[in-house]
Every structure is written in C-alpha cells, then in structure tokens.
Amino acid sequence: MEAKKTNKKREPGFLRMETNLFDRIFIGVVIFVAIHLLWMRFLESSISLTVASIISLVLIFVIAKWG
Amino acid sequence: MKQSARRKGLKQVFLYIVWIALTLITLFPIYWMFLISARSRVELFSNRNLYQTTIFWENFVRPLFQGVYGQYVVNSLIVATGNTLLVVVLAVLAAYALSRYRVKGGQNIFFWTITNRMAPPAAFMLPLFLLYSRVLRIGDLQLYDTHIGLILVYCVFNLPFAIWLLKGIIDGIPTSLDDAARVDGASTVGIIRRIIVPLAAPGIAITALLAWIFAWNEFLFATTLTSVKARTITTGLVEFVTVVGTNWGEMAAMAIISLLPALLFLVLVQRYIIAGLTFGAVRE
Amino acid sequence: MKSSKTAWGLLAPTLIILGLVGLLPFIYVLYVGFHDWMIFAKVSGLVWAGVDNYRELVFDEDFLAALGRGLRFTIWTVSIQMVLGLLLAHLLMKKFKGRGFFRAIHALPLTVAPLVVGATWRLLTIPGLGPLPFYLNKIGIDYNIGWSAQQAFFTTVLMHIWHWTPFVTLTFLAGLSALPKEPFEGAMVDGANQWQIFRYIFLPMLKPVILIALFLRIMDALRIVDEVWMLTGGGPGTATRYVGIHIWRVVFPMTNYGYGSAMSVLLLYFIIVVCWLLLTVITQAKREAGT
Amino acid sequence: MKTYWKLVIPITLIVLVATVLGACVPAPPPAVEPPVEEVAPPAEVPTWWAEAAAPYKGVTIRGISESTPPSKYVLEVLVAPFEKETGINVEFEVTSWDEMYTKAIRDMEAATGIYDFVYIEQDIIYAYLAQNFLVDLTAFSEANPNLLYPELEMDDFTAFIDNFKDAEGHVYGLPFEAFLKVYLYRTDLFEDPEIKAAFKEQYGWDLRPATTFEEYRQIADFFTLWGKEQGVELWGSTVQAGSHPAAFYEMFETIFPSFGVYNWGINMENWKATTANGGALDSDRAKEALRYWVEMLEVAPPEARASTWDEVAASFAGGRAAQGWVYGENAAWIATDETRSAVVGKVGVALPPLYEGVLDDAKARRGYIGYYDGGAMGIPHSSKNQEAAWLFIQWISRKEIQGDFAAKTARIVRTSTFDDPLVKEMDPKVGGYYTLFKEHGDLFKGAPPFPFHAPIREVILPYILKAIAGEMTPEAALDEAAKAVDAELVKLGYGQ
C-alpha cells in the first residue's frame, strides 16, 4: 500500500511544496479534470479528447512521482 | 495623560454610537417581520407605518393551535437538539484525534470532511431520498420521515464545520497539559473529559450553538426527507405560500415563533460563552 | 502504533456517518452525471452519455454566466463579512457596559432561518408592501428590486451580510476564547498600540479560525439557494440567478437529473479547488514565514 | 486497547440517546379540529363507506397536494369524518406548489410508494400519463366493483374531467378543483359617474370592461393617470411578472390564447416552435402579444415585477389595480372576505379582452380564450394502498359536499354544483363569477396536452424574464426561446 509512504517526510519535488502521495494524486486529478474541461471547450473540434486523457495521465504520473 | 483620558471618553462615545447604529440595522428587519405578523391582510397594503397599535392575533392563533405547526415545532426541537448532541460529541473526539495524533493522511481526512459541506444541495437530494426510502429499509421501517433520519443527515453540514472549528480551538490548548495528565495515568477519554472539554468549553458552546441553529433552520433536507411525521417548522413555513395569496401575516407569525426557541438557546449559551471568555481581562 | 489505533477509534463514527450521508450520495451523483436522465423525456431513465453532459456544460453560456454571478456575489459578501466580523469580534473582546446585550443583539439574525430571512427581506423590499421602497421613494430614490438588476444584486448582498456576519463574529470569538492571554498582556506592557496588537498578535493567532470562517462562508455563498430564492427568485431577468439557483431550476422544475448532476459535480469541483488553493497558499505562506 | 473500549461505550451511548430521542417521541397525527360548521351530517353518509372500507381498517394512506383553500378544506373538513367512518387513517401533506411537484414526481419516478394519492394539476397530467405514473381508475373500478361508490355519478363531472382521460376514455384522476382565469375589474370605479364622464371625454367611448386589447390599455392608462392625479395608489392593471413560473403561465395560458397564439406556439404535429417549422412561438402575433404584455408593466403597480399569482390577487384585493387577469379561485375571497380584501363588493367579472377572431376560433373549437385551470386526485402506480386511496378520492368527490366546498373555495367540478343553493347565493357577491363559469367555461381551455410540460416551461421562462427585465427585447426573446424549445424538444425525444 502507498499509505506507508504517505506520512514519510520527503523533500519537496518540483511543486516546491511539502506533499504526500495522496496530495500529489489529488493535484493530478484536479489537473486531469481541468485539462479535459478546457480541452472540450477549446481544442476538441480539432484534436480528439483521447489526446487530453493521455496527456493528463502522464501528468498525474509525473506529479505523483516527482512532484 | 489628561488628553488621553478625554480621547478615551470620546472613543467610548463613538463605540456606543457604532453599536447602537448596528443594533438598529440588525433589529429592523426582524421588527418589520413582527409588524407584519401583527397586521391583518387588509392592513398589509394600506398601512406602512413603522409602528403598530393593534395586534391581529389570528395570525398567531390559527396556525399554532388549529394547524399542525405546534407539532412541527416539537419535531424541530427534537431534531436540532439530537443532532447537536451527536455532532458535538463526535466532533470533539474527531478534532482531538486530528489535533493530537499523527494519523496517516490526517491532513487529507481533515480536508475531506469539509468537502462534505461544499456540495451544492439540489442534485444531492435524489440520492439521499433513495437512500432513505429504499436502500436503508427494513420492511416498513425506513429512515424517510423519521427524526433519526434528519438527525443523521444534518451531520453532513454540521459535523465538518464542528470538526474544523474545534480542531482550531484544541490546537490552541498546550499539549503539555495532556502530557501531564497522561503521566498521572489518565486515559484518552479522561484527558478529553477533564482537560480538553473544560478548556475548550466556550468554543464548544459556540460550536453547539451554531450547529443547533443550522439544524433548526435547515430547509432543503427536511423538505426532501420528511412528509408528515417528522416535518420541521421551516418546511411548514412554505405552506403559507399558496396560490391564493401568500399568507404573509401568518407566515411572519410562525417565523417569529420559530425564532423564539433559537433566541432562547442563543441567550443561554451566550452567558456561558461570556463566562468562559478570558479576554475580559484584557484592559486598555 | 497504539496511539494511531486510538485515533482511528476516535475518528471512526465521524467517518462512518459522513461516508453514509456524504460520500455515498456523491458517488451516485457522479454516476448520474455521466448519464442522460430527464424524467419527462420520451425515453425516461438513465441512458449512458459519457462526458456529453460536461461537453455541453463548458459551452453552456447560462451556466457559466450563473457561475460568474455566483462568484461576484461570493467575493462581495465574503470580503465584507470577513472585515466586519473581524472588527466586531475585536470590539466585542473589549470590556464595556452592555457588551453582553450587544453581542446577543448582534447574533440575532443568525437565529432566523434562511428561508425566513428571504421572506423577511422580501417583505421589506416588495414595492407596495415594504417600507424600504416606500420611504426611499419619499426622498427621491426609486427603489424596486423587481426592476433594477443592480439594486436586486446589492439587496441580496446586503441581506447575506446581515444574516451571516454574526456567524463570522461568533466563530472568531470562539477562536479567541481559546487563545492564551499572555501575548496580549506582554504586548500591553511593552506599550504596543491597538493597531499593533491587532496586526501582530490578534491576526496571526486567529489565523486558523479566520481560515475556517473564510472557507465556510465561501462555500455557503457559492451554493446559496433558499435566501435568494425567496427574495428575488433569481430575478429580475437573470440578475440574481446564482449558480446554486440555476442548478436548482435544472434539477427540480426542469427534472433534468443527468445534466443537473453534472453541474453539481462541476460546481463541487470548482469549490474544492478554490478552497484547496486557498488552504495551500496560506499554509505555504505560513511555512515560508516560519523558516 | 483499554482506552479504545472506553471510547466505544460513550459513543454508543450518545448514538443511542440520539436514536431514542429521535424514535421514541410519539408523533401524534396532525390534530385537525373537527369543523364546527355542519359538514355532511353523519346521517346522510351511508354505511356503504364503512362496509367497503372494512378490509382496510387501520391502513394509513398518505397524499400530497398544494396548500390551496380546496386542499385545506379537505384537510380540515373532509379528512376527519372519513377517518371516523372508515377507520382508514389519512395523512395529507399540503405544501407549496413547487415542493408538491418535486416530491410527487420524485416519489413516482423512483417508485418508492410514499404517496397513495397525489394532486395532479391539469397541465402535468399528460406528462404523467406518458410516464405511466398513474393508476387507470376506470380499469381499477371495474376490477373492484365493490369499491365503487354507487352515487359517484361520473357523468355529473363537468367537461373538465376529459383532461384526465387517455385516448380510450379511461379516467386517471377525479377532478378536485377547477376555475377560470378571468378578467376582474373594480365596479366602484367603472360605475362612478364622474370617472365615466372624464373617460368618455378623453377616449370617446363609454367606460365598460374592455373587449379588445386597445380598450384594455386605454382603461389602464386612464386609471393610472387618474390615480396619480387623485393621489391614491391605483394603477391600471395587474401583471403577473415576478421571477417565477407564474410569469410564464400568465403569458402562455392567458395572453397568448387571447391574442390567438395557441398551444404555447408549438406545432403539435412535428413538435416545433419556430415559424420556419410551422410553429408560432416566434410569429409576429406572438411578439406583438409579448410586447403588449411587457409594456403593460408601465401602468401596473410597482410590485407587479415581483408578483406571482399570489401577489396579483393581493394587489387587486388591496385596491391597487383597476382591472386585471386574476385566477378565479381568488375571486371568492377578494369579493367577500373583509379581513383580507379592501374591495369587498366592488368586484366585477368579465371575459378577458380578445384579439379579433379569437372568439370565433374558440366557439369553433379551433382555439380558446383563456385558462381553464384545476386539478384532480389520482393514485400513483407505486402506491401500496390503492384501494383505500380510491375510497378517499371518491369521498372528497361526493356530490353532497360540493356546494359548501365550492362556495368556500370558488372551485367547481360537477355540473350539479352550479345549481346548488349555496353557490347560487354566493354568485352575485362575486360579480357573477359562477354564472360566467357555467356559461362560458367551455371557451376556456387548460394547458395543451404535451407529454412534457415543466422542462419546456423552464426553457422558455428565462427568456420571458429577460424580456420583462429589459435584458432583451420581446422580439429577440421569443426568437431565442423558439430556437431553444426546438433544441430541447429534440433532446426530450420529440420532433427529430
């Protein structure tokens, strides 16, 4: 379980904040939703929504790992 | 020094002026509601005086004694008090846990509790309704239209608020006091009861007061999750909004009646709060 | 890890109840939000729609406008309430004759149910029945909240301030009551003036409680329904149709559960992000100031 | 571990206390005082009821309705004798109009079976039928002949009952209340010789209730000015223009039909509202009507912009308007109740003003001149006590109680009620409302038989409100509204 890690003190990553894994996943999900909403509004007419999903999933991973 | 004494006097006068002005502004709408409740329907449109010499008692008598509103007041009392008891106890425990222990993801739990209160109410009524009338149901027993159902559902907005408020307050109580008590062999419950509760008493009182008032005044949950038996006074009020003329007089009368218990509660708790306020000691 | 177990024991009842009445309904709403569900459609019942509801939402001018109005309302009311509440709490802290009386009077609006607050203010402001338009008219001000969008907006703001400032004050008083008094006395001895005490001791020590009050006010103002509903019904035109009322209309009278659920989820998302950002910014600032 | 258990006990205790607090308090049935006035004396009530209800003794049925005088009458006058006669308990919830809908629809949609009888307004019945929300009463009474009250006399109901029938003529609700939205005017003003003379001088025709919209506007202008000159608070006409569905209803059920725009301007063959598709919602006539109505606000009391049906009646009763379109159910109290109305004995009733040709349309059944509103009592399909509920809705439809019921609440659902002595006695006091109802009722009509109702109303409403508030011109509002309706109807599955 990740829970073990959540409480461990770690050096702030590129987000420059003290976060645990849950926080970073939360940030990731927030960004995931925001990207999708904005994508639907501005980009979907030209680029498929799947691209947004891929980008955001990558982002979630990056943030969770190094954020 | 003399000058400062005069300045102080002036400041006092100014302070009182501010308070009196605020009092008038605060009281005016309520006073107007009282005037409306004292007027008959004919008077409403013709009389716009800011005083009233006669009272149209029928506005009070009819709904209170001929209608079902007396029962609604009782329902409201039960629900608000039951919910406050539940909320305060649970919140003290939870706030203590979050304040004193390093719980895994404690910060996250803390934040999650408050998100419960953020939900825009409209869409959440349907799932609650289904939950109460279909899911949590044993035979004919269901949470729909019961006091206990309302007591539980009011936790959704009262519990997060109470936990947040109390955590801030408990955080302010030095941990050294707990440690001392623990050395003396007190259990966790003992510490909460003997150290935390007395020290946080004014804060708990305000929390209870606010929780009680929120529960007393709640409308949406009550109207969705009750029908006849557990109906509360606030939901009863909308009955006066009818096709043949909103009955402002009776509605205002009932509103005033619904305000009285809350007022009484407020006054009682206030005394307690003032007694506990250490700030009376701060002098200029 | 004995202590952690105790902590979970202390938290358990809270988590169970909130899970039951908070989390479960949320999951259901999330689920419905991905469906079309209009009660009076030819095909009634849940029909899977994927993200169509959200796709429609980001282009829904009415919804976005309502959200904007809600934000404007929130910024106005919450900022004024916070400042007023802070000042009044500060004033009520001092000892003076009649303090108890003023405090009780000040808290009075809180005891009025939101629905009744709306009704009361409607009685105050309805032309023909209320004293406000009548007496304002006598001094030459044409006041009609059924007509002027501006007046209607500020009347709702005023009503909200009237109703909820006491809440902020009381919350601050609750926070104050648990504070140690030594710093204040120390400052007094050092000859600090009122402003310095307020700025350097009062405010920082009260920060957690200020944060709570701020959060509660923001989230309650953003999703407001009953009070404004009773006062203006969202009118004139769409001037006071705040986002809570907009959702209300879509879910209940329009019986469009799917779309309404999607709206609710989006609004919830929005509120959570705003509050989380606030929390993060403030805690980070505190941390940086601390180091 | 010890501390843990020490915690559990108090928590359990508290939960228990809260539960007990919640559960043990007896909720006595709402104490409805038996009425003092003579209600159908027990002797007249045949024991048929007791016999029919014998198997259902002790059953509790629950119903919901709007808190209108008829519903209150049922709650306060008709429930107690029924309970006494049959041993069936009745819990009758009366609440505000929007709450009633929300709760009844939610119950029927989720099939929770909370309500055993519901109030069905005429305008929503078709939507309920489309969703199979209701029990087919015709089939039900055939299946349970012993539960059919022998003196029910279905033929005695006015034509209003046709609204509650399906294509095969099966009934889904027993009419409960019905009334017209009529043209009320102040007889004391209209008959004042001085006013009459001044009016004639200004407009060149004799002051009388308007028959055309030009006349109506002239009268309104005249009295607004007259009020100003005399220094009294009087305006020309009520307008139901608050931010509430009421504004939509006045426009679509009263003003549009009398301008000759029927069925909300929706073409019911292809379910389109735009003129391009055969609808009429953005037609010139509709725009003219909306502009006329919105401009009427200039001569309406200032509260008109915050008025629903409630406040319109209150304004008129307060003597603040010379004329207006008012729901007939208000006529009785406006004209007779001195504690609520300042215009007792000064109320005249007439047919609303009409556009040219509309009366002929109505007589030829091509159109209608105004709103015939009302509702019935029906049984949701999810009800678990349909038999007992059926008994109760027959009980409140009994012939012998209708006279008192109608005189007190100005609603009539049975032909025989028009001839009831109590109604006859009341008629002159309310300016002949009942006579007008009887003679011209068939020129009025309820809402169009749409299988949807509220969703489309909610689509249109914001545009109407914007037109009232001046955010849009009436013309632009209707153009936009018609497009929005077309789009929404497609979403609802109509008019692909």
Positions of chain C with pLDDT under 70: 1-3, 177-179, 181, 285-291
CB pairs under 8 A between A and B: 15
> Nearest-CA neighbor of D314 among D226, C167, D306?
D306
Query: Is B122 within 8 Å of chain C by CB?
Result: yes
In chain C, residues with a C-beta closer than 8 Å to the C-beta of A26 are: 276
- pLDDT at residue C286, rounded to an integer: 65
In chain B, residues with a C-beta closer than 8 Å to the C-beta of D91 are: 227-229
Contact D300, D235 (CB under 8 A): yes
CB pairs under 8 A between B and D: 168
d(CA B34, CA B13): 30
pLDDT in tens, C96-128: 787 778 888 888 888 888 888 888 898 888 887
Query: Is B115 within 8 Å of chain A by CB?
Result: no
Sort strands D321-327 and D235-237 into parallel, antiparallel or unpaired: parallel
Residue D435 sits at φ, ψ, to 5 deg, of: -65, -45
All domains of chain D, ordered by start, with CATH? Answer: 52-179+373-437 (3.40.190.10), 180-371+445-492 (3.40.190.10)
Of A26, A30, A40, the CB nearest to C54: A40
pLDDT in tens, D171-183: 999 998 898 999 9
Distance from CA of A36 to the nearest CA of C (A): 9
Q: B104 vs A7: CB contact, 8 Å cut-off? A: yes
C-beta atoms surrounding A10 within 10 Å: 11
d(CA B262, CA C46): 43
- pLDDT at residue D37, rounded to an integer: 46
Which chain B residue's Cα is nearest to D314? B245
- pLDDT at residue C290, rounded to an integer: 53
Span D328-348, average pLDDT: 87
Q: Is C150 exposed, middle or buried (0-12, 13-18, 19+ CB in 10 A)?
A: exposed
Given a cut of 80, whether residue D35 has pLDDT beyond it is no
- pLDDT at residue A6, rounded to an integer: 44
Which chain D residue's Cα is nearest to B42? D340
Distance from CA of D7 to the nearest CA of C (A): 7
Of A26, A30, A41, the CB nearest to C58: A41
Contact D353, D213 (CB under 8 A): yes
Q: How far is CA B172 from CA C180, C285, C291, in A?
A: 8, 20, 21
Contacts of C20 (CB under 8 A, 6+ apart): B131, B152
DSSP class per residue in B209-238: HHHHHHHHH--HHHHHH-SSTT--HHHHHG
- Phi and psi based region of residue D87 (left: phi greater than 0; alpha: psi -120 to 50; beta: remaining): left
> Nearest-CA neighbor of D437 among D217, D251, D160?
D160
Query: Is C59 within 8 Å of chain A by CB?
Result: yes
Which comes out higher in pLDDT, residue A66 or C266? C266
Q: What is the ipTM of this complex?
A: 0.86
Contact D177, D157 (CB under 8 A): no
B258-272, C176-190, D374-388, D417-431: the lowest-pLDDT one: C176-190
Distance from CA of D311 to the nearest CA of B (A): 6
pLDDT in tens, D269-298: 999 999 999 999 999 999 999 999 999 999
Positions of chain B with pLDDT under 50: 278-284
C-beta atoms surrounding A11 within 10 Å: 5
- pLDDT at residue B245, rounded to an integer: 56
Given a cut of 70, whether residue D23 has pLDDT beyond it is no
Q: C43 vs D493: CB contact, 8 Å cut-off? A: yes
Q: C126 vs D243: CB contact, 8 Å cut-off? A: no
Given a cut of 50, whether residue D31 has pLDDT beyond it is no
Query: Is B82 within 8 Å of chain D by CB?
Result: yes
In chain C, residues with a C-beta closer than 8 Å to the C-beta of B278 are: 177, 179, 181
Which chain B residue's Cα is nearest to C209? B168
Which chain A residue's Cα is nearest to C54? A37
Span D137-158, average pLDDT: 91
Query: Is B144 within 8 Å of chain D by CB?
Result: yes
- pLDDT at residue D16, rounded to an integer: 47
Q: Over D47-97, what HEC string results?
A: CHHHHHHHHHCCCEEEEEEECCHHHHHHHHHHHHHHHHHHCCEEEEEEECH
Query: Is C83 within 8 Å of chain A by CB?
Result: no
Query: Is B6 within 8 Å of chain A by CB?
Result: no
Q: Is D442 exposed, middle or buried (0-12, 13-18, 19+ CB in 10 A)?
A: middle
Of D11, D318, D468, the CB nearest to C237: D468
Query: If you average pLDDT over every residue of chain D, what do you get?
Result: 87
Query: Is D302 within 8 Å of chain C by CB?
Result: yes
Strand partners, D91: D62
CB pairs under 8 A between A and C: 24
Q: Is D257 exposed, middle or buried (0-12, 13-18, 19+ CB in 10 A)?
A: buried
How many Å from the N-terminal Cα to the C-terminal Cα in chain C? 30
pLDDT in tens, D47-57: 789 889 989 99
Contact D209, D183 (CB under 8 A): yes
Of C4, C100, C225, the CB nearest to B270: C100
In chain B, residues with a C-beta closer than 8 Å to the C-beta of C67 are: none
User: In terms of DSSP H, where are the helices of chain B?
Assistant: 2-37, 41-46, 58-61, 69-100, 106-118, 121-130, 147-153, 155-171, 175-183, 188-191, 197-199, 201-217, 220-225, 233-237, 248-276
Span D452-463, average pLDDT: 92
Contact C86, B249 (CB under 8 A): no
Which chain C residue's Cα is nearest to B266? C104
Query: Is D27 within 8 Å of chain C by CB?
Result: no
Q: Which amino acid is at D237?
A: S
Work out the pLDDT band at D21, boundaries 50, 70, 90.
very low
Q: D492 vs C128: CB contact, 8 Å cut-off? A: no
Neighbouring chains of B at 3+ CB pairs within 8 Å?
Answer: A, C, D
Task: Please give the share of chain D, as a percent, with pLDDT higher than 90.
Answer: 59
Q: B105 vs A3: CB contact, 8 Å cut-off? A: yes
| DSSP secondary structure code for residue D33 in this structure | P
Work out the pLDDT band at D316, boundaries 50, 70, 90.
very high
Q: Evaluate the CA torsion angle D76, D78, D81, D87 in order and state its sign.
A: negative
Task: Please give the share of chain D, as a percent, with pLDDT higher than 70.
Answer: 91
Q: Which amino acid is at D343?
A: V
In chain A, residues with a C-beta closer than 8 Å to the C-beta of B105 are: 3, 6-7, 20, 22
Query: Is C156 within 8 Å of chain B by CB?
Result: no
> Nearest-CA neighbor of D348 among D188, D197, D225, D196?
D188
Query: Is D90 within 8 Å of chain B by CB?
Result: no
Q: D66 vs B242: CB contact, 8 Å cut-off? A: yes
All domains of chain C, ordered by start, with CATH? Answer: 60-290 (1.10.3720.10)
- pLDDT at residue B279, rounded to an integer: 39
User: In terms of DSSP H, where are the helices of A1-67?
Assistant: 3-6, 21-38, 49-66
Given a cut of 50, whether residue D20 has pLDDT beyond it is no
Query: Is A55 within 8 Å of chain B by CB?
Result: no
d(CA B73, CA B128): 24
Which chain C residue's Cα is nearest to B261? C111
In chain C, residues with a C-beta closer than 8 Å to the C-beta of A40 are: 51, 54-55, 58
Q: C54 vs A30: CB contact, 8 Å cut-off? A: no
- pLDDT at residue A43, rounded to an integer: 87
Q: A30 vs C55: CB contact, 8 Å cut-off? A: no
Interface mutation vs chain A, best among B107, B110, B112, B114, most A CBs within 10 Å:
B107
Q: B252 vs C123: CB contact, 8 Å cut-off? A: yes
Given a cut of 50, whether residue A2 has pLDDT beyond it is no
Of B102, B104, B107, the CB nearest to A3: B104
- The tokens describing D426, both together, are 């009341």
Q: Which letter, b or e, does each residue of C113-132 get, where b requires 16 or more Cβ atoms within 10 Å of its Cβ? A: bbbbbbbbbbbbbbbbbbbb
> Nearest-CA neighbor of D59 among D401, D383, D395, D380?
D383
Contacts of C166 (CB under 8 A, 6+ apart): C85, C106, C107, C108, C109, C110
- pLDDT at residue D496, rounded to an integer: 75
User: 3-class DSSP state for residue D170?
Assistant: coil
d(CA D136, CA D380): 10
Q: B113 vs C174: CB contact, 8 Å cut-off? A: no
- pLDDT at residue D34, rounded to an integer: 44
Distance from CA of B177 to the nearest CA of A (A): 26
Tokens 């302010």 map to which residue? Answer: B172
Q: A7 vs B105: CB contact, 8 Å cut-off? A: yes
C-beta atoms surrounding D67 within 10 Å: 22
Strand partners, D377: D119, D174
In chain C, residues with a C-beta closer than 8 Å to the C-beta of D13 are: none
Tokens 């925001």 map to which residue? Answer: A34
> Nearest-CA neighbor of C103 among B275, B32, B170, B9?
B275
C-beta atoms surrounding D338 within 10 Å: 12
User: 3-class DSSP state for residue D179?
Assistant: strand
Q: How many CA atoms lie within 13 A of B221 on its CB side?
A: 31
d(CA D427, CA D438): 11
C-beta atoms surrounding C241 within 10 Å: 25
Query: Is C51 within 8 Å of chain A by CB?
Result: yes
Distance from CA of A12 to the nearest CA of C (A): 12
Q: B128 vs C167: CB contact, 8 Å cut-off? A: no
Which chain D residue's Cα is nearest to C232? D243
- The tokens describing D182, both together, are 């009529």
- pLDDT at residue B186, rounded to an integer: 84
Given a cut of 80, whether residue A14 has pLDDT beyond it is no
Residue D322 sits at φ, ψ, to 5 deg, of: -80, -30
Which chain A residue's Cα is nearest to C277? A27
- pLDDT at residue B95, rounded to an integer: 93
Query: Is D393 within 8 Å of chain B by CB?
Result: no
